[in-house]
């Protein structure tokens, strides 16, 4: 699933190319990803609209259009939003095509069909389910050690569980949660409320560090992820625990282990991250 670094990379690769373009036609090959409005209204409303800005909130892409509209896109597990030449063949599982001036197209593909697209007014955007409940943006000045400590206080849930909770910190998914906890030296099953001040400080530093490193390397391409130009990322080559079960830790040499935390496959190093007593 594209996480914050992947969505941010898509945003950056689309922003310069898409801003100022007008939508001349909308082709809907599969309407199931469109949550609102109904497909024909969706299509007719978009024609003639101009892309004014491309932003991100958590894992959501926010494509601001003229006349006060916003396309809100969540890529979920396998969604791809790619700018292509109109003459290029359509990739498999392409569900939506936005024709633009200059013989280019913005294409949405989604193998698993779990992604969502909403066309709403700017005044209604922050009422959208999922978007309206988002917590701290981890790459913003609002993400402080004090705020992080406050939300962790007295929480009995495993720290990884809280990192994945979008109402607490927006944008972190399974891959980066594991890498963040490894960087901070914290076992993923440790109850969040039991983190020491030193561990909270290490976690606060690790979150933006690992997310920014992911962005620097244009995201993690393990399965379907590509950026807005259709190119794969490179952060998968730098993963230190995620997907490395049975391999030696690159830091201490201990064998990387896999467990499940709240039903999610979780990778950690017992040498660097210690152990947690199960109660």
Annotated active-site positions, please?
2-3, 59, 264
CA distance 163 to 112: 25
CA distance 256 to 249: 6
Asked whether the CA dihedral 246, 248, 251, 252 is positive or negative, the reply is positive
Cis peptide before 77 (omega within 30 of 0): no
Name which of 6, 20, 1, 2 is nearest 214 in CA terms.
Answer: 6
- Write the CA distances from 118 to 42, 73, 232, 254, integer angstroms: 9, 7, 26, 46
CA distance 219 to 223: 12
């Amino acid at each position: 699933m594209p996480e914050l670094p992947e969505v941010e990379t898509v945003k950056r690769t689309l922003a310069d190319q898409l801003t100022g373009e007008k939508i001349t036609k909308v082709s809907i090959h599969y309407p199931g990803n469109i949550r609102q409005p109904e497909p024909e209204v969706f299509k007719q409303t978009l024609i003639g609209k101009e892309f004014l800005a491309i932003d991100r909130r958590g894992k959501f892409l926010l494509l601001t259009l003229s006349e006060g509209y916003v396309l809100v896109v969540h890529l979920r597990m396998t969604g791809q939003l790619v700018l292509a030449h109109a003459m290029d063949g359509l990739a498999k599982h392409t569900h939506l095509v936005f024709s633009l001036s200059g013989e280019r197209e913005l294409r949405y593909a989604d193998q698993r069909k779990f992604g969502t697209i909403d066309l709403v007014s700017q005044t209604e955007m922050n009422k959208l389910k999922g978007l309206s409940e988002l917590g701290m943006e981890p790459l913003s000045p609002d993400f402080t050690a004090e705020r992080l400590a406050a939300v962790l206080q007295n929480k009995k849930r495993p720290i990884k569980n809280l990192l994945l909770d979008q109402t607490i910190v927006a944008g972190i998914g399974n891959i980066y949660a594991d890498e963040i906890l490894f960087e901070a030296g914290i076992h993923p099953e440790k109850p969040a409320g039991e983190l020491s001040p030193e561990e909270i400080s290490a976690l606060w530093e690790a979150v933006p560090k690992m997310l920014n490193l992911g962005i620097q390397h244009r995201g993690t391409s393990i399965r379907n992820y590509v950026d807005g130009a259709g190119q794969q990322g490179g952060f998968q080559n730098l993963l230190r625990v995620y997907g490395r079960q049975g391999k030696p830790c690159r830091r201490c040499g201990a064998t990387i282990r896999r467990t499940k935390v709240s039903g999610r496959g979780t990778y950690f190093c017992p040498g660097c991250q210690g152990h947690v007593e199960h109660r």
